[in-house]
Chains A and B, each alone.
Chain A
């Protein structure tokens, strides 16, 4: 796409806060959100948004965002790591526990905040990886 650096773009999406599912347009420029517009044709909200949906989007660009994987080192400190190193460590840890304690020693907690595709992957990871139903999401607390 032939876009200039300062071009403004609008992307239709769904609010990420509560379960009402308000439609909104994210207005972006230079890879940053600069505004949220309520969608008047949104089936759940018909143009309405609350204070969170309308204004609380700046966390997306907050400097606290995690930008690299972290791995706990021998001194107990979380240290920046490459994806390769972190994924290898994550996988190895599950394999070690599986070997030592069996398949009912691993548990997955899916998110009520991520898209369904992430939730589907979480449950498939547990069911395919361990053959158990040791999977839940955060709806009980």
Chain B
């Protein structure tokens, strides 16, 4: 997030797009509720009539995958209505004139033809956001899990740059991160393009810096992403070490994923349960859970917080850092023989400029949000206050593209996937929590009543849902939360493996899967056919 969580109580106008925050980030959503109670206005764009949509002043029911068109239409209106912040544009941005040309044709009527949202409503939303003193944008995977995820984010940045909504309290462009330490994973350098602290691997100075630190020269070329690595299993990739990820259930195109992992010569999985992924491994190593380990999680507002061991692990389970260090030592690697997590974190702080100002001891209170460039620096709750990292904020000249697959006679409904409040990801944890299982015992497919009637489905009955990649059986729930023509399910339940269906395409830059859009056919079935053992 560009701004701290506390800022979520401060905007005059909130714009939520592609975020089901009351379910996926419920505690953050309470901040927005406080802002609304104070009188803030809210715009919500989402294909589904989610809780946030019910709370919104303006709800924009966009067709899945049409976000860029909506955002371009809104930008057009902001320029046309003279709501652009000319002083901010002149002092902090570049490319405005070109953007104005680019937006010429992106009228609200054009946006309506793609998104299905009435032009008048798009105008109303643009004027509300454009007129705000403090306008804040919040988004989640509904923006990024598309083949045009990058364009979606750039289009959001255009709106904030146009209106000067950066670097001040209650403003910003704020992605809500989905996992407890997904931010920390990137910060720590677990990326094919960056060393720790987002230092590009293809910069020779960084290569030299890490050669000195690690005693080994690492390729100047970027590595491949996990998506590409899975594609190349059995072709160029022959061994994998997977730590704490249930790839088989969480990744798109399950059949392809299982085939990929099975084609490896050597698969080692570190996890706390025998997940569907661990079941495919040659070696499974038992790790400590969150309550049994010491270290740090970095949250969505870049806050580095200490995790503390409260109970002993069961049996012989060990901390992940110890396990990885042990494998390394048995391979004769140097510099991975740590005796505790403390020197590991201190090394990360030393090598990552955004962490330079802290160490294990200083991070204990959890008050630091990166960047903390030097000792004594207070941390940076709000990014881009005086200038952007690269000086000026650049407008992007984005355009709308269709999703990788679009509906047709064979697959006439849009499936969009997501999360539910009670379950977490692939349920390796929440599926083993008694109370949670009572609250949410099974997955259902949310279908609009008129679609149910059209396709012969009924509430509580079973359906077979198929895409170009596979089919799953799922119980139907008729609801007006789903718009006509779009169905929804979460990917959490291993016995309703929705990711058998997904995997139509990937963003060409980030290689993020288009998990939010998948054309499907839904047909009624009498009885559920049990999953065949693979």
Which residues does A use to contact B, with CB under 8 Å? 9, 11-23, 26, 28, 31-33, 43-45, 48-53, 55-62, 64-72, 78, 83, 86-98, 100-101, 104-129, 131-141
A83, B330: Cα distance in complex, Å: 12
A94, B299: Cα distance in complex, Å: 33
What are the residues of chain B within 8 A of A127 when measuring CB–CB?
A: 189, 195, 210, 214, 216, 218
Count A-B pairs with CB separation below 8 Å. 454
Residue of B193, B330, B430 near A87 (CB, 8 A) is: B330
Asked if B203 is at the interface of the complex by the 8 Å CB criterion, the answer is: no
Smallest Cβ distance from B219 to chain A, in angstroms?
5
A11, B292: Cα distance in complex, Å: 11
Smallest Cβ distance from B530 to chain A, in angstroms?
21
Q: A86-B283, A127-B210, A138-B226 are in contact. Are A119 and B238 (CB under 8 A)?
A: no
What are the residues of chain A within 8 A of B266 when measuring CB–CB?
A: 93-94, 96-97
Whether the Cβ atoms of B226 and A44 lie closer than 8 Å is no
Whether the Cβ atoms of B308 and A12 lie closer than 8 Å is yes
Q: In the complex, what residue of chain A is closest to B431 when comparing beta carbons?
A: A59
Q: In the complex, what residue of chain A is closest to B214 when comparing beta carbons?
A: A128
Of B174-182, B474-482, B520-528, which stretch is located at the interface?
A: B174-182
A68, B278: Cα distance in complex, Å: 13
What are the residues of chain A within 8 A of B291 when measuring CB–CB?
A: 13, 16, 26, 33, 57, 60
What are the residues of chain B within 8 A of A32 when measuring CB–CB?
A: 311
What are the residues of chain B within 8 A of A112 when measuring CB–CB?
A: 178-182, 185, 244-245
A107, B367: Cα distance in complex, Å: 35
A49, B378: Cα distance in complex, Å: 27
A16, B510: Cα distance in complex, Å: 26
What are the residues of chain A within 8 A of B186 when measuring CB–CB?
A: 137, 139
What are the residues of chain B within 8 A of A120 when measuring CB–CB?
A: 188-190, 196, 321, 344-345, 347-348
Asked if B265 is at the interface of the complex by the 8 Å CB criterion, the answer is: yes
Q: Kindly list 19 other residue pairs between chains A and B, CB separation below 8 angstroms, not including A108-B190, A116-B345.
A: A13-B307, A18-B180, A20-B28, A21-B303, A43-B6, A86-B283, A93-B239, A97-B265, A109-B229, A111-B185, A112-B179, A114-B295, A117-B321, A119-B181, A123-B191, A135-B223, A138-B179, A140-B227, A141-B251
Whether the Cβ atoms of A45 and B320 lie closer than 8 Å is no
Contact-size category for B: 35 or more
Residue of A45, A90, A121, A128 near B268 (CB, 8 A) is: A90
Asked if B225 is at the interface of the complex by the 8 Å CB criterion, the answer is: yes
Whether the Cβ atoms of A44 and B301 lie closer than 8 Å is yes
Q: A44-B299, A107-B239, A114-B181 are in contact. Are A124 and B311 (CB under 8 A)?
A: no
Whether the Cβ atoms of A97 and B331 lie closer than 8 Å is no
A101, B193: Cα distance in complex, Å: 23
Nearest 4 Cβ contacts at the A-B interface: A67-B315, A115-B295, A21-B299, A133-B223
B8-54 contacts to A (CB < 8 Å)? 24-28, 30
Smallest Cβ distance from A43 to chain B, in angstroms?
6
A93, B284: Cα distance in complex, Å: 13
Q: A20-B299, A23-B366, A93-B268 are in contact. Are A52 and B190 (CB under 8 A)?
A: no
Which residues does B use to contact A, with CB under 8 Å? 5-6, 24-28, 30, 176-193, 195-196, 201, 210, 214-219, 221-227, 229, 236-245, 247, 250-252, 265-266, 268, 271-274, 278-279, 281-287, 289-301, 303-312, 314-321, 323-328, 330-331, 333-336, 338, 341, 344-345, 347-348, 366-367, 421-422, 424, 428-436, 439, 510-513, 515
A94, B348: Cα distance in complex, Å: 25
Q: A58-B433, A123-B188 are in contact. Are A19 and B300 (CB under 8 A)?
A: yes
Whether the Cβ atoms of A69 and B283 lie closer than 8 Å is yes
Whether the Cβ atoms of B192 and A133 lie closer than 8 Å is yes
What are the residues of chain A within 8 A of B325 when measuring CB–CB?
A: 121
Residue of A9, A44, A59, A119 near B188 (CB, 8 A) is: A119
A110, B242: Cα distance in complex, Å: 6
What are the residues of chain B within 8 A of A117 when measuring CB–CB?
A: 295-296, 320-321, 341, 344-345, 348
What are the residues of chain B within 8 A of A52 when measuring CB–CB?
A: 421-422, 424, 430, 436
Whether the Cβ atoms of B308 and A13 lie closer than 8 Å is yes
Q: In the complex, what residue of chain B is closest to A86 when comparing beta carbons?
A: B283
What are the residues of chain A within 8 A of B294 when measuring CB–CB?
A: 115
Whether the Cβ atoms of A122 and B241 lie closer than 8 Å is yes
Q: Give the one of B219, B315, B317 with max A CB within 10 A.
A: B219
Whether the Cβ atoms of B317 and A67 lie closer than 8 Å is yes
Whether the Cβ atoms of B432 and A108 lie closer than 8 Å is no
A113, B190: Cα distance in complex, Å: 13
Q: A18-B180, A68-B316 are in contact. Are A91 and B331 (CB under 8 A)?
A: yes
Q: A21-B303, A51-B422, A113-B180 are in contact. Are A134 and B192 (CB under 8 A)?
A: yes
What are the residues of chain B within 8 A of A140 when measuring CB–CB?
A: 225-227, 510-513
Smallest Cβ distance from B465 to chain A, in angstroms?
20
A49, B273: Cα distance in complex, Å: 25
Whether the Cβ atoms of B192 and A65 lie closer than 8 Å is no
Q: A60-B289, A121-B325 are in contact. Are A136 and B240 (CB under 8 A)?
A: no
What are the residues of chain A within 8 A of B347 when measuring CB–CB?
A: 120
What are the residues of chain B within 8 A of A65 when measuring CB–CB?
A: 272-273, 286, 289, 314-315, 317
Whether the Cβ atoms of A95 and B331 lie closer than 8 Å is yes
Q: A66-B284, A128-B336 are in contact. Are A123 and B344 (CB under 8 A)?
A: no
Whether the Cβ atoms of A106 and B341 lie closer than 8 Å is no
Q: List 23 A-B contacts (CB under 8 A).
A: A18-B179, A50-B27, A55-B433, A59-B432, A64-B273, A67-B316, A69-B284, A70-B283, A70-B284, A90-B283, A93-B266, A97-B265, A106-B238, A108-B240, A109-B229, A110-B185, A114-B295, A115-B297, A115-B321, A123-B195, A124-B336, A125-B328, A129-B328
Q: Give the one of B290, B317, B336, B422 with max A CB within 10 A.
A: B290
A101, B240: Cα distance in complex, Å: 13
Whether the Cβ atoms of B310 and A9 lie closer than 8 Å is yes
Whether the Cβ atoms of A105 and B435 lie closer than 8 Å is no
Smallest Cβ distance from A129 to chain B, in angstroms?
5
Whether the Cβ atoms of B184 and A115 lie closer than 8 Å is yes
Q: Give the one of B5, B184, B298 with max A CB within 10 A.
A: B184
